Structure 1
Amino acid sequence: MHLKLELIVLPVSDIDRAKAFYEALGFRLDLDKAVSDDWRAVHLTPPGSEASIIFGTGLTSAAPGSVQGLYLVVADIEEARAELTGRGIEVSEVFHDTGGLFHHGHHAGEVTHHVEGQHRVDGPHPERASYGSYATFSDPDGNGWVLQEVTQRAPGR
C-alpha cells in the first residue's frame, strides 16, 4: 500500500494576508473558493512539490500559528535563503547541528534555546552534508517552516 502525503491544513487568522504571504514565497495558487461566509478554502502548492497546503474558513479549529516543523527541502540552502529574503520573507541565518540530530524548535527571529543533544551552530554544515543545513521562517501567524538542504537522498527516499 502507498500512502502519499498530499495536503496539510494550516490554521491562519487572516486568509488574504496568508494567501499573499505564500504567493510571495512562490507557492502556486491552485484554488481560492468561497461557498459561503462560513467556508472558504485557499489551496497552494510549493514549487516542485507534490504536497500542498490549504487554509481558510471552516477548515480547522486549531489555533492560528500552531503548526510547526513543516519542512521544505532545497538543493542549495544559501541560494534558497537568498531568494526568499529577496522576496521580502524574514528567514533565519543558515545553521547546522553538530549533534547530528533532527532539527526542531527554532523559528525566524526566535532566541535559540537549548534542546538536549542538539548543538546549533551558525553557517551551513562544514562539509555541506546532505540533510545537514537549515534555515527557518514563519508565516504571519507563526506557523513554522524549516528549509533543509538535501543534496543526496538517503537510500529508499
Structure 2
Amino acid sequence: MDMKLEVVVLPVSDVDRAKHFYQSLGFRLDIDYVGDEEGFRVVQFTPPGSGCSITVGSGITSAPPGSADGLHLVVLDIDKARAELVDRGVDVGEIFHDAGGVFHHAGDKGRVAGPAPEHASYGSFFAFDDPDGNHWLVQEIRTRLPGR
C-alpha cells in the first residue's frame, strides 16, 4: 500500500501574515477557505515542484505558533536556491554542512561553514524561519540514494 505525505500543518499566529510570507517564497496558493464556523480558516500552499503541501490557518491545530522545527525543502543547487530566497527578501542563514557529514544536528551544533565537500548530495543546508518561527532547512540533493 502506498502512503504519501500530502499536507503538513504549520501553527501560525497571524494567517494573513503567513499567507503573505509563503506567497513571497513562490509557493502556489491552493486554497484560502473561510468556514461557516467563526475563527475557522484553511490556507494551503504547495512549494514549487513538491507533491506535499503546507497548510496554515486558524482553528486547525492546537500546536503553539512557531513550534514546527526541521521542515526540509530539497533543491538541486543550494547556492542558486539561497540566492533566489535572498532576492525574494527572505532572511536566510549561511550555507553549512555537518561535521559528521551525514545529516545535521539540532540547533547549531556540528555546523561547518560552507557547502559539503564537492557538494555531496544530502550534505549542504541553509536555514530560515517563517514570521512565527517555524524553522525550515533547505537541503541540496543532486543525486538521490538508490530506491528514492
Matched, 1:141 2:132: yes
Q: How does 1:37-56 map to 2 (within 5 A)?
A: 37-56=38-57
2:118 alignment partner, SS class = coil
Say what the alpha-carbon RMSD is for the aligned residues.
1.0
Unmatched tracts of structure 1, length 5 or more: 107-111
Report percent identity of matched pairs: 60
1:69 alignment partner, SS class = strand
- Alignment TM-score, normalising by the size of structure 2: 0.96
- 1:106-151 CA deviation, whole Å, 9 max, x = no partner? 3xxxxx3x3xxxx311001121100010000000000010000000
Count of aligned pairs between the two proteins: 147
Q: CA deviation at 1:55?
A: 1.1
CA, structure 1 residues 104+65, in 2 after alignment: closer, same or farther (shift >3 Å)?
farther
- 1:9-35 CA deviation, whole Å, 9 max, x = no partner? 000000000000000000000000101
2:129–2:136 Cα contact (<8 Å) kept: yes
Partner of 1:61: 62
2:95–2:126 Cα contact (<8 Å) kept: yes
> Separation in 2 of the partners of 1:59 and 1:101?
35
Runs (4+) off by over 3 Å: none
Unmatched tracts of structure 2, length 5 or more: none
Matched, 1:92 2:85: no
